[in-house]
Homo-oligomer: A and B are copies of this chain.
Amino acid sequence: MRVGLLTGGGDVPGLNAAIRAVVKRGEGEYGHSIIGFRNGWRGVVDGASEPMTRQHIRNVLPVGGTLLGTARYHPHKSDGGLDAVMATLEAERIEALICIGGDGTLHAASKVAEAGIRIVAIPKTIDNDVWGTDQSIGFDTAVTIATEAIDRIHTTAESHNRVMIVEVMGRHAGWIAATAGIAGGAELVLTPEEPFDIDRIERFLKHRHRAHASFSIVVVAEGAVPAEGTAMHYETQVGKFGEIVAGAIGERLKAEIEQRTGFDTRVTVLGHVQRGGTPTPTDRILGSRFGVAAIDAVARGESNVMTALRGERVELVPLSEIAGKVKHVPDDLLAVARALA
């Protein structure tokens, strides 16, 4: 059996663990040929593929990124994209396709599945906002990196009596902000789930610095927004198409806080470091388990499903169930972040 494999969307640590598991298990247990496509759906459209063997996956477990390459290209959004995908899959005699990706890749996958291709998906995103699974590949490493950064900033904040803003990833959901905020002991955590009240922030910081503390750490997700009706002095910069720009909310908050409180305020935008480097054990294990579960699902004839972590177990959920949904940070986790500020 010939099984296709691709990684799409932004790269995250742990992708190679999933690739390795698919190849090792597919070849070793089932005798499948695993055909890797380069740069996500782009490589399917272009017919850029190569058979993956044990040689390709040697020593890749601790390596971040994806040895298949990736791209933010979605075939269903471009003219003839889906046709080109179908043509390649037919030419390559691909009987099933394992797609590792986030929202965009999974959406494309369900479109391809509608066209009759057998699809098993594996969720990855450092934002952890894929619906239907407790965790996605890449999230744990991102939280670890963000927490390390907050730890570092903590010592410098304390030495200098400053307000330190740390902007982390999370456009639609504040998973990294909430968890790294708790782990790093942040005084304030701002997420897309809870639009913030800048007047309250001003009061909080003034009270805190008057009362006892000499510094504060504010962790803000890039998708955090002020509550409606909040009067702010500065506008957040947006991209050409109205999209969120890294650093925009962090810089805006800094300007606002400095103007309102007079406190020396600095902003650090973590950016790309959050998605690179050696994956944590959790992401390697999750990638490995998802990879094994995906190739096992292919072998059992499953289609149009996604591997998902549910408590201690890996299960399959229909792709149709997760489409168009964002998994937000639950209230009790946000409550813990608030309680420990």
Kindly state whether residue A330 has any CB partner on chain B within 8 Å: yes
Segment with Cβ contacts to B, from A58-66, A80-88, A113-121, A252-260: A58-66
Cα distance, A281 to B266, chains bound together (Å)? 24
**CB-contacts of A134-153 with B (<8 A):** 134, 140, 143-145, 147-149, 151-153
Cα distance, A272 to B292, chains bound together (Å)? 31
Segment with Cβ contacts to B, from A104-112, A179-187, A223-231: A179-187
Kindly state whether residue A332 has any CB partner on chain B within 8 Å: yes
Segment with Cβ contacts to B, from A90-98, A201-209, A298-306, A311-319: A311-319
A296 to chain B, nearest CB (A): 9
Kindly state whether residue A284 has any CB partner on chain B within 8 Å: yes
Cα distance, A180 to B288, chains bound together (Å)? 12
Interface of A is mostly: helix
* A336, B292: Cβ atoms closer than 8 Å: yes
Cα distance, A289 to B289, chains bound together (Å)? 26
Chain B residues with CB under 8 A of A13? 155
Kindly state whether residue A310 has any CB partner on chain B within 8 Å: yes
* A151, B62: Cβ atoms closer than 8 Å: yes
Closest to A214 in B: B69
Chain B residues with CB under 8 A of A155? 11, 13, 63-65, 276-277
Segment with Cβ contacts to B, from A23-31, A192-200, A232-240: A23-31
* A281, B153: Cβ atoms closer than 8 Å: no
Given contacts A61-B183, A292-B339, contact A268 B272 (CB under 8 A): yes
Which A-B residue pairs are the 7 nearest by beta carbons? A152-B276, A65-B155, A152-B277, A64-B155, A11-B159, A183-B281, A65-B159
Show the binding face of A for B, using Cβ within 8 Å.
10-11, 13, 20-21, 24-25, 28-29, 39, 59, 61-66, 69-71, 134, 140, 143-145, 147-149, 151-156, 158-161, 164, 179-180, 182-185, 214, 266, 268-269, 271-273, 275-278, 280-282, 284-285, 288-289, 292, 310-314, 330, 332-333, 335-336, 339-340
